[in-house]
Amino acid sequence: MARVRYFAAAQEAAGRDEETRGEATLGALRVAVAADHPGLGGILPRCAVLVAGERADDDTVLTADTLVDVLPPFAGG
């Protein structure tokens, strides 16, 4: 089961800072977390989603050891 960490606005929208998920691919994970946490639906498409610290596509396979970070866009200077 992949460990998913949410940061900033994604954390607020999900109502938690992390959770463990069982989806097999990043694409399935995106769909499932948007369904489970409706507040994420509006911001998830704009978030950087990193798998093991790197950007990944929806076909990326997730394993029990996978760390997924959901980072909304940040503003500032």
Strands 2-6 and 18-21, by their bridges, are antiparallel
> For residue 20, is pLDDT > 70?
yes
Summarised one tens digit per residue, pLDDT across range 31-57 is 999 999 999 988 999 999 999 999 999
In sequence order, which residues have a C-beta less than 8 Å from that of residue 74 and are 6 or more positions away?
8
Give the pTM: 0.92
Residue 24 near residue 61 (C-beta atoms within 8 A) = yes
- Residue 27 three-state SS: helix
Q: How far apart are CA 13 and CA 54, in angstroms?
A: 22
Query: Which pLDDT does position 32 carry in this prediction?
Result: 97
- Domains annotated for the chain, with CATH where assigned, are 2-71 (3.10.20.30)
Query: Which pLDDT does position 40 carry in this prediction?
Result: 93
Query: Which pLDDT does position 27 carry in this prediction?
Result: 97
pLDDT band at 75 (very low <50, low <70, confident <90, very high): low
Query: Which pLDDT does position 74 carry in this prediction?
Result: 78
Q: How far apart are CA 32 and CA 4, in angstroms?
A: 12
Q: Between 73 and 69, whose confidence is greater?
A: 69
